[in-house]
Amino acid sequence: MSRPSLTIRRAVPQDAEALSRLATRTFVETFGHLYDPGDLQAFLDDAYAPEKQRVILSHPDYAVWLLEEGGEAVGHAAAGPCGLPHPGVAPGDGELKRLYLLASHQGGGWGGRLFDTAIEWLQRDGPRTLWIGVWSENFGAQRFYARRGFEVVGEYLFHVGNARDREFIMRRVPGTGSGSLFAAHSDGPARSRGEK
């Protein structure tokens, strides 16, 4: 039996509940083993609450895309104004805030397609500096972003409940991107950590 085809679409406020469930599931699947259950739950309850997702989905400066298989969300990307704590961030800079796929859907190039979709939207008014926060031990994501012109320019502590993780801040200035992602080989999923 073949898989239904996958599609990418822009999420709308009515997708808040589905986005909340997917964001929770992908974060737990990717990073849940790293945290005390209480710290993890406190983070999830705050970061991925349905109402918070609804606010993001309703805001004109933010965009979220869903990767769907047969009408079910299996991945997502989120983008908006840069909120990373780096002195080089300037008004108008953009940030890829989230890029997650369920493990069952990784390795087929769809993370790259979501990435391209988000980057295209971030640059809809022309080239600008782009930022990403990536866990310091997520080497696959760091390689993925480096191949696309991002470089580590700083770090900060990412809070998950009482846990503090070292997070790298990656930046791509206009003119340093590597072109279309579809021509590049991906050695694994590209995942940023979440929103601040």
- In whole angstroms, give the CA distance from residue 82 to residue 128: 11
- The model's pTM is 0.85
Q: Are 134 and 193 in contact (CB under 8 A)?
A: yes
Residue 193 lies in a domain: no
Q: Are 11 and 23 in contact (CB under 8 A)?
A: no
Q: Are 101 and 123 in contact (CB under 8 A)?
A: no
Residue 55 lies in a domain: yes
pLDDT (tens digit, 9 = 90+) per residue, 164-194?
A: 999 999 999 998 765 433 333 333 334 455 4
> Could you tell me the CATH number of the domain that includes residue 111?
3.40.630.30
- Please give the residue range of the domain that contains residue 85: 6-183
- In whole angstroms, give the CA distance from residue 73 to residue 71: 7
Residue 115 lies in a domain: yes
Domain count along the chain: 1
pLDDT (tens digit, 9 = 90+) per residue, 41-63?
A: 999 999 999 999 999 999 999 99
Residue 196 lies in a domain: no
- In whole angstroms, give the CA distance from residue 81 to residue 172: 14
